[in-house]
Structure 1
Amino acid sequence: MSLLFEEIDSQASPLGEICLRRRRIPALGERDIYEVKLGDEFLMSSMFVEAEEALATLGLATVEGEDLRVVVGGLGLGYTAVAALRDARIAELLVVDALETVIGWHRDELVPLGKILNADPRNRYVHGSFFNLATQPNSGFDPDSAEKKFDAILLDIDHSPSEYLHAANAGFYSSEKLSLMAAQLKPAGVFAMWSQNLPEESFEALLGTVFAEVNSHVISFYNPFLGGESTNSVYVCVKGAP
């Protein structure tokens, strides 16, 4: 094992081999970089978290009221969840992830933000498929409270609305399935979603068939590998009155 690279954990999962790694890049100084890989595919790096945090801040900025109940779909390295918990209005945060291994990394504090999430009593991990729970409004996201309604649902799982972590996820991106998810939002509730790509007009139009208001935000951040700016996007949608 090099001092510049460590594989912290690697386990089989229903989606393939998933591993957590830590590395240092000398040109970037004394900074530990955490990475998650699924098979040969990079899922996340702690080098680039601006858009994951913006998913929480932009989504919650659109929500009105206090004592907010919020769902985060996709735990990753925890950046969206931790950014959401910075909002003092949150009373309850459910973080849904299909991979028990990823939840275990946080519970065992193998990743830096696990300690923050574990220490916050508002946070609760839910092991399950976001896409299955999202489209079953009679049971819903909370295994302890069927049909619970939420103020916001923040989604960061697929690479984009047209590039999926797993082919089975494609069916979620339809008016029918998005409407089932929206049924779990309170009136004027917010659905926000991260994408690695610039906003897609076809997806904005699809969201417009379900939500009363759809806005897209481009998030720019410095990418040292490119020596310039990279971009992701965040879609923020507001549910209409019943």
Structure 2
Amino acid sequence: MPLLFEEIDSQASPLGEISLRKRRIPVFGDRDIYEVKLGDEFLMSSMFVDAEEALSHLGLAAVQGDNLSVVVGGLGLGYTAVEALKDQRINELLVVDALATVIGWHKDELVPLGKILNADIRNRYVLGSFFDLATDPSAGFDPQHAGKKFDAILLDIDHSPTEFLNAANASFYTTENLSLMADQLKSNGVFAMWSQNLPEEHFEALLKTVFATVTSHVVSFYNPFQNSESTNSVYVCVKGE
């Protein structure tokens, strides 16, 4: 009989102790549920991935052209990256994460989607702070090609534009720093971002100081713990010419 709970790995990180766990909840059927925790805080669960997948689907739907170069900020359990790779227009995908531990879980295939990401030659892991790379366009996201421009940047790191995984991330959400990131997009390139909250008007207004168009999407999904619908949101922004 499978274990109902297993801690697969736990390591110190610059943000605190980060752990990967696997559990089974019999009432939810014969399935393994993977969870990532940072200290006492739950970062992600494989039970709730609809909005992470929608981030890729909605963001890439707004991108024009083929042979796309795309950045995913935040690896997590890999759902955003794997969903992005379903778009056959993608030529290369850079997945940026600040935690070597999380990248290691995928490279060592301790999480189910690691095998898919490792097998896709379009995928490349980049160890580094998304926010540092985003605000340094002369270097940029690709350590092999300084100053490279991308067709899309998909971001899923902070809980929302006002609730941060790390307090230092708050400085990213300004016209100046969003503009530095936008400099790394091609003409008509797309920036899309996940949030656990409903769309926030003040953040939409901020995005409009940088991008030609801003569209907010509400993503609804069933939450079995509450026996009701839950919502997240995805902001999709298109750069001008």
Gaps of 5+ in 2: none
How many angstroms apart in 1 are the aligned matches of 2:3 and 2:155?
Answer: 35
Q: Report the counterpart of residue 128 of structure 1 in structure 2.
A: 128
What letter is aligned with 1:58?
A: L
1:148 equivalent to 2:144? Answer: no
Q: Secondary structure at the match of 1:60?
A: helix
Q: Report the counterpart of residue 39 of structure 2 in structure 1.
A: 39
How many angstroms apart in 1 are the aligned matches of 2:69 and 2:197?
Answer: 28
Q: Report the counterpart of residue 55 of structure 2 in structure 1.
A: 55
Note the C-alpha offset of 1:3: 1.5
Q: Normalising by structure 2, what TM-score?
A: 0.99
Deviations 1:84-137 (A, max 9, x none): 000000000000000000000000000000000000000000000000000000
How many angstroms apart in 2 are the aligned matches of 1:16 and 1:148?
Answer: 32
Q: Secondary structure at the match of 1:57?
A: helix
Q: How many residues align?
A: 240
Q: Report the counterpart of residue 180 of structure 2 in structure 1.
A: 180
Q: Normalising by structure 1, what TM-score?
A: 0.99
Runs of 4+ residues deviating >4 angstroms: none
Q: Report the counterpart of residue 104 of structure 1 in structure 2.
A: 104
Q: Secondary structure at the match of 2:66?
A: coil
Q: Secondary structure at the match of 2:189?
A: strand
**Where does 1:157-168 land on structure 2 (aligned, <5 Å)?**
157-168=157-168
Deviations 1:143-186 (A, max 9, x none): 00001000000000000000000000000000000000000000
**Where does 1:63-142 land on structure 2 (aligned, <5 Å)?**
63-142=63-142
How many angstroms apart in 1 are the aligned matches of 2:32 and 2:220?
Answer: 22
Deviations 1:2-46 (A, max 9, x none): 810000000000000000000000110101000000000000000
Q: CA RMSD in A?
A: 0.6
What letter is aligned with 1:130?
A: F
How many angstroms apart in 2 are the aligned matches of 1:19 and 1:89?
Answer: 34
How many angstroms apart in 1 are the aligned matches of 2:203 and 2:100?
Answer: 30
What letter is aligned with 2:56?
A: A
How many angstroms apart in 2 are the aligned matches of 1:199 and 1:12?
Answer: 34
Q: Report the counterpart of residue 235 of structure 1 in structure 2.
A: 235
How many angstroms apart in 2 are the aligned matches of 1:158 and 1:182?
Answer: 18
